[in-house]
Amino acid sequence: MIIFPAIDLKDGKCVRLYKGDFNKKTIFNSSPYNQAVEFEKQGFTNLHLVDLDGALKGKSKNKKIIIKIIKKTSLKIQLGGGIRNLNQISFWIKNGIDKVVLGTLAIENYKILETACRLFPGKIAVAIDVRANYLAVKGWVKQTKIKYLNFIKKMDNCGVSRIIFTDIDRDGTKKGINPLRFKKIFRKTKVPIVISGGVANITDIQKLNSLDKAEGVIIGRALYDKDIAIKDLKKKNLI
């Protein structure tokens, strides 16, 4: 199982939100690049990178920082946040992003999602961001009336390389994960799934690791707060 440490970019800084609320923001590092380097030194090989400014505005304010992280680390990066057209997708893939994560675009324009998957095979991931069983878009600010399980069913047919499922109600809370929910999701699709939201400790990661269909897990606040120790991840051969 792949462990993805998370870096969320807001105004050029590395932050974490509480349940996706931009008014409940904690700055963990004023240099996202230094944070990425630290993760690499700790032994991580993958990184989950989200441009929160891009997600809100549909336009990135953090492009230079992201490119610096791409070019000056060897981390395999999945990037999301405000990527809303084919030109932006192409730009990031040409600059070395491993997976481009589409959220709002995937949900609001399924045809472009299909086109992106065809043009960039193996490079497109879809963010399934869920609040109270419904999809949220545009930085989680806009709530839709689309039930997430109905949308997940469509992912098998368009060539998506992975689904990134985030439980917004648990994100940033360290309240733990809900394995029963994920078992239900796994029955709906054959696409590999990366889990995010609420991971609190090493036990949560082990629970997910026991689910054969979980491709990976994203860890944010629990890493920054040191509730999950790097030595324990290494001891369990998770990194």
Are residues 238 and 3 in contact, defined by beta-carbon separation less than 8 angstroms?
Answer: yes
Calpha distance 181→134 (Å, rounded):
14
User: Pairing between strand 21-29 and 13-18?
Assistant: antiparallel
CA distances from 143 to 8, 49, 135, 136, 200 (A): 21, 22, 6, 4, 26
Place of tokens 């992912």: 155
Active site residue 129: yes
How many residues appear in the chain?
239
Residue 2's nearest CA partner among 54, 51, 48 is 48
3 state SS of 9: strand
- Of the residues 53, 98, 129, 171, only one is catalytic, namely 129
Active site residue 53: no
Residues labelled as active-site residues: 8, 129
